[in-house]
Structure 1
Amino acid sequence: MTIRNRLAFRFTGLVSAILLLTFVSIYAFCWYFIASDFYRRLDRKANTLGEMLIRHRLDAQLIRQLSNIRKDQLPNQKIIVFDRRDSLIYVTSDAVKLAISPTTISSIRKQKRREFRQGEYYVCGIRFMTASGQYVVIASAENVYGDVFLRQLLWALIGLFILSIGITAFSGWFFAGDALQPMQRIDQILNAIFPQNRNERLPVNPDDDELSRLSVTINRLLDRIAESFRLQRMFVANVSHELKNPLTQISSQLEVSLLNQRDPGAYQQTIRSVLDDVTSLSELTHELLQLSQISQDNTDGLLTDDVRIDELVWDIRDEVNAINSRYEVSVDLGELPDDPEHLTVRGNKTLLCAALKNLIENACKFSFDGHANVHINFSPSTLQVSITNEGPPIPETDLPYIFEPFYRSRQTAEVRGYGVGLSLVERIIRLHGGQITVSSAPSQPTVFRMVLNR
């Protein structure tokens, strides 16, 4: 069932329930009012006749004549009087057949007054107490006009109910379609989006309603998908470029070596050059493998070590200083906490070592004097590592992309590398539930700030 039909069905059901309750209440009120009024009239007639016949002991024939003269006779009216022995002592009309059982007379004596229906007749019975015993007066009649009115009212309410349900169902279906029309437009626009027109977005209504917020959310999703496509294309292009260069060099050198007979020294030189290119390919393959492993979703089994960050930083400092005599790394631990546990994070020591080493080595590589400073701040809940260097600032246009795989700005194009390191660092930090940010501006040091949760 479509949403439109479901909304129309529920709206119709709700309105139907309200109308049914209203119409039933109207009919019940009218029935109660008409029946109560008719029973009161029967009660007055029974009381009047009882007073004349029993208390004032008027002649029965005289009472019949007076009753015939009166103009307020009810349809098929009949009044019956029983004495203390349940013997019939007075009846107004023999033509009206109304059988009163001794059980009914007995219940009237016990209840003093009773109202009930018997077939088409409304019956009201009352008890009269006298010195000679108990008498029972029963008045009955047909409520012709009231019953006709109730039947007409019933049919009118049924017809009005059916008509109202039909109008409600059509109105609910129509307005549900009108309300869902923006959803249909969203569906049409989304179905028409292909890679060729992936920049197309949903129109956003200025009204801050649910559909506007849904359109904004979908547009953000489309932006993320488009960004993923862009990164994928850039990744493939960069990988292709990085693989193509060494492969082309290997192929060219081997082809040149096969053109003419050469001395052993030339072949050895060619083999060394090819070996360098193969080594570069191996390093690139290794970095890509690391990147793919960190990108896997199921990495819970990797974070099993208790890593002392201060010890890890000192070890990396020695390794980076040994890479190049120009490199110099200084470490500032700040104010050490009293509890050594505040220096420990839960994670993977090998991955954290790779991330920190990459950041510190890059800081030395792009520093004016090869110097990098590592500052560590501790708190009960977080641990922050800042790597600072004095070097060329990272262009503002490059800052949003430096953590993307294979992205290399013009500033880093002359430095040997593949553009995988920072992407690997970012994924390692994210794997550990942390964050990494970078700030760089002219005349200001470049700072990579890594925050890990303890």
Structure 2
Amino acid sequence: MKIRHKIAVQFTVLVAVILLVFCVVLHWTAETQRQQNIYSLLQRRAATTARLLVDVREFDANLLRLLDKNSAAKLPNEETFVFDYKDRLIFATANRRPAYLTKHLADDIRINRTVTFQDGGQEVVGIIFTGQYDRFVVVAAATDTAGRLQVRKLARTLTIGFWIGILLTVGLSVLFARQSLRPFQRINQQIAFITARNLSWRIAEGSNRDEIADLATNFNQMLRRLEQAFRQQKQFVSHASHELRTPLSAMKTEIQVGLEQPHSLEEHRQILANLQNDTERLIDLSNGLLQLARLTDNTVEALAFEPLHLEEVLLDARQEVKQSNASCRITFDYAQLPEDNSSTLVQGNATLLKNAVVNLLSNACKYSPDRQAELLLGFDATHCIVTVRDKGIGIAAEDLPHIFELFYRAQHTPVQSGGFGAGLSVTHRIVELHKGTIDVKSTLHQGSEFTIRLPRS
């Protein structure tokens, strides 16, 4: 079932329930009011008959029957019965004695003083009348033909109105649903034209700030993110292909040189050394791309995060860098002494955080003539702060906004330094996964300072 049909059905059912409740309440109110009116009228007629019979000497039973018979205000099937204290019938306007006139009814009237009920099509009222010399039980009954006819007419009118209201509701709800969902149909038609080849297409957001406009806005934002992701993927493939081509071309050249003519043992050693360097570069490039791909696919929920003392991670990173490059000299110190064990506690993945710091320390040593780097650990009320500082070649101001982009290499980076521009991208992604930030300050030919801020656990 389509949404517009569901809306029409649900709206119709809702209106039908409301109308039904309204009709039932209105009919019940009218019926209750009719009963109250007829019972009140019968009580007054019963009291008047008993008063004329008991307290007024000029009236006797025969005269009252004559007046009752010729009364223009007499109700259909109206009957009045008067009983004395011994339950003897002393007056009746009817020739028959109804079955409801029992001793039990008389006793009930004496206890409750007023009793009302229905018998067949008649409304019956029983009251106590206190005369000058005795107490009497008076029962009056009549058929409320006019009142019942009015209630039946009201019921008929309500029934007709109910079904007319349902029919109008069905038509209007279908029209309303179609009009309300028309913007969604327009959006759906526009979405149908969007494919992987035209992600730059945007759907019309309109000028209204309603839920439909919000949906269009959010969908356009999703398209922007998808377009950016596709663009990054294309750039990734393009840059990766370019970076892979360079060492592969170099390896091919070295192999061709080695096969073209006989070489001395030393020349063969040099060729093999060049091949080894190119192979190591390919391995480093492959590892970096694999790590970046895994970080791109993973989320915080998919990684194993646990409470970590950050100084332990930094010491492990320092040790790893020194093992891979013995010429690096890295000093580690606290920017401020921890107040307690929780001052340097963060929630994270030890391996990822160590890799991030290793990348920063490796770059600091690689691009510093003295192969020195300074590692500092500090904290504030909400974050742990890791600083990696060097006095190397620095980064130009125009390069700073791009250094965390994949495969980006600054203009002043020495060619002999190697690398392929993925380390800082990996570090940036790791910090993002830990809900942290990374900033850089650098002056060309004076050095750089990278600052990582991680939320304290």
The answer, yes or no, to whether TM exceeds 0.5 is yes
Residue 55 in structure 1 maps to residue 68 in structure 2:
no
Change (3 A) 1:334 1:108: closer
Report the equivalent of 1:15: 15
Structure 1 residue 160: deviation in Å?
A: 0.7
Residue 84 in structure 1 maps to residue 85 in structure 2:
yes
Report the equivalent of 1:4: 4
Structure 1 residue 243: deviation in Å?
A: 1.8
382-391 or 200-209: bigger deviation: 382-391
Match of 2:12, SS state, is: helix
- Give the Cα–Cα distance (whole angstroms) in 2 for the partners of residues 314 and 277 of structure 1: 26
Change (3 A) 1:42 1:271: same
Counterparts of residues 62-101 of structure 1 (less than 5 Å): 62-94=63-95, 98-101=98-101
Q: Retained in 2: the 8 A contact 1:320–1:360?
A: no
Q: Which of 303, 309, 328 lines up with 1:299 in the alignment?
A: 303
Match of 1:99, SS state, is: coil
Counterparts of residues 117-266 of structure 1 (less than 5 Å): 117-130=118-131, 133-261=134-262, 264-266=265-267
Q: Retained in 1: the 8 A contact 2:441–2:449?
A: yes
Percent of counterpart pairs with the same letter?
31
Q: Retained in 2: the 8 A contact 1:7–1:176?
A: yes
Q: Which of 427, 436, 439 lines up with 2:438 in the alignment?
A: 436
Match of 1:418, SS state, is: coil
- Give the Cα–Cα distance (whole angstroms) in 2 for the partners of residues 421 and 146 of structure 1: 94
Structure 1 residue 432: deviation in Å?
A: 4.0
**Which string of whole-angstrom CA distances, capped at 9 and with x for unpartnered residues, describes residues 69-117 of structure 1?**
43212122222233334333332243x7843331323322332222221
Q: Retained in 2: the 8 A contact 1:8–1:172?
A: yes
- Give the Cα–Cα distance (whole angstroms) in 2 for the partners of residues 16 and 406 of structure 1: 67
Aligned-CA RMSD value: 3.6
Report the equivalent of 1:271: 272
Q: Retained in 2: the 8 A contact 1:305–1:348?
A: no
Report the equivalent of 1:393: 396
Partner amino acid for 2:30? C
Structure 1 residue 329: deviation in Å?
A: 6.9
Change (3 A) 1:351 1:146: closer
Structure 2: 5+ residue runs without aligned partners?
none
158-167 or 288-297: bigger deviation: 288-297
Structure 1 residue 154: deviation in Å?
A: 0.5
Partner amino acid for 2:208? D
- Give the Cα–Cα distance (whole angstroms) in 2 for the partners of residues 259 and 318 of structure 1: 41
4-13 or 164-173: bigger deviation: 4-13
Change (3 A) 1:345 1:63: closer
Change (3 A) 1:45 1:283: closer
Partner amino acid for 2:432? R
Structure 1 residue 220: deviation in Å?
A: 1.8
Partner amino acid for 2:180? A
Residue 424 in structure 1 maps to residue 423 in structure 2:
no
- Count, aligned residues: 448
Q: Retained in 1: the 8 A contact 2:441–2:448?
A: yes
**Which string of whole-angstrom CA distances, capped at 9 and with x for unpartnered residues, describes residues 183-220 of structure 1?**
23333323331011111122223332222222222222
Q: Retained in 2: the 8 A contact 1:12–1:172?
A: yes
Change (3 A) 1:29 1:85: same
Q: Retained in 2: the 8 A contact 1:305–1:349?
A: no
- Give the Cα–Cα distance (whole angstroms) in 1 for the partners of residues 369 and 258 of structure 2: 42
- Give the Cα–Cα distance (whole angstroms) in 2 for the partners of residues 121 and 255 of structure 1: 121
Change (3 A) 1:337 1:265: closer
Q: Retained in 2: the 8 A contact 1:307–1:346?
A: no
**Which string of whole-angstrom CA distances, capped at 9 and with x for unpartnered residues, describes residues 349-387 of structure 1?**
664444234224434655799876655432244221334
Q: Retained in 2: the 8 A contact 1:320–1:361?
A: no
170-179 or 300-309: bigger deviation: 300-309
Structure 1 residue 132: deviation in Å?
A: 6.2
Report the equivalent of 2:283: 282
- Give the Cα–Cα distance (whole angstroms) in 1 for the partners of residues 422 and 307 of structure 2: 22
